[in-house]
């Protein structure tokens, strides 16, 4: 099973069908301990019900701010059309004003949080390229602050909305050989925290 297939299965079962991470993990886990941990990591990128509830207000703020930038960008496109600017410039403006923010909003609404991250990175690249041409008046500062907030939330939320799990190292003897396995337990009621991914040795 590929990374893409794991994520697709996780999203379908957890978001659409309302299953817990643990039940989906138990279905997907294999006889390979290292790969099982990879499965858990990919499943953890899909937020649980509790995680979604905890961060929903921030997703709503992200959507609202992104919507405001769409309106501002659309007005900018109309200005470019009136000035008969080169088609390539208009195309880039449309991409920034509609396509990229649209992807971000869609990702926030559907909990496809990797889209928030991708959108933020692309917006950040475009912003760095065009920042030298911006007028640093009050309007420019407000727009830049707005874009900065959206980029921050787009990178911050996918990280914080992961579902945590605990990994316990289990050592067992099979046919006279000591084998290492992982007992992975998801904490569907908690948000992601690096400190929650604990490893302990059990003999």
Low-confidence ranges of the chain (pLDDT < 70): 77, 80-81, 85, 89-90, 93, 96-97, 130-135, 189-203
Give the separation between CA 194 and CA 12, rounded to whole angstroms: 25
**What is the CB neighbour count within 10 angstroms for residue 59?**
21
pLDDT of residue 130: 65
pLDDT of residue 120: 92
pLDDT of residue 196: 41
Do 59 and 113 contact (CB within 8 A), yes or no? no
Report residue 153 as tokens.
């939330």
pLDDT of residue 201: 37
Nearest CA among 19, 54, 55, 26 for reference residue 40: 26
pLDDT of residue 87: 74
pLDDT of residue 124: 86
Q: Distances in Å between the alpha carbon of 143 and those of 55, 138, 146, 149?
A: 25, 9, 5, 10
Nearest CA among 13, 26, 70 for reference residue 165: 26
Domain limits of the chain? 20-45+162-202, 50-160
pTM of the model: 0.77
């Amino acid at each position: 099973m590929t990374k893409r297939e794991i994520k697709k299965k996780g999203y379908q079962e957890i978001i659409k069908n309302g299953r817990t991470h643990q039940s989906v993990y138990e279905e997907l886990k294999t006889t390979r301990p290292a790969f099982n941990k990879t499965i858990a990591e990919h499943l953890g990128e899909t937020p649980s019900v509790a995680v979604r509830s905890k961060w929903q207000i921030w997703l709503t703020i992200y959507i609202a701010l992104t919507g405001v930038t769409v309106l501002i960008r659309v007005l900018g496109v109309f200005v470019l059309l009136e000035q008969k600017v080169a088609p390539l410039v208009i195309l880039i403006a449309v991409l920034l004003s509609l396509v990229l923010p649209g992807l971000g909003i869609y990702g926030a609404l559907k909990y496809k949080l990797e889209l928030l991250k991708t959108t933020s990175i692309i917006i950040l690249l475009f912003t760095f390229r065009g920042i030298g041409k911006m007028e640093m008046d009050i309007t420019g500062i407000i727009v830049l602050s707005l874009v900065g907030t959206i980029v921050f939330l787009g990178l911050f939320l996918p990280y914080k909305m992961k579902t945590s799990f605990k990994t316990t190292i289990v050592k067992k003897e099979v046919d006279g050989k000591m084998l290492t396995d992982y007992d992975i337990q998801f904490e569907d009621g908690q948000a992601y925290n690096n400190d929650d991914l604990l490893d302990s040795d059990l003999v």
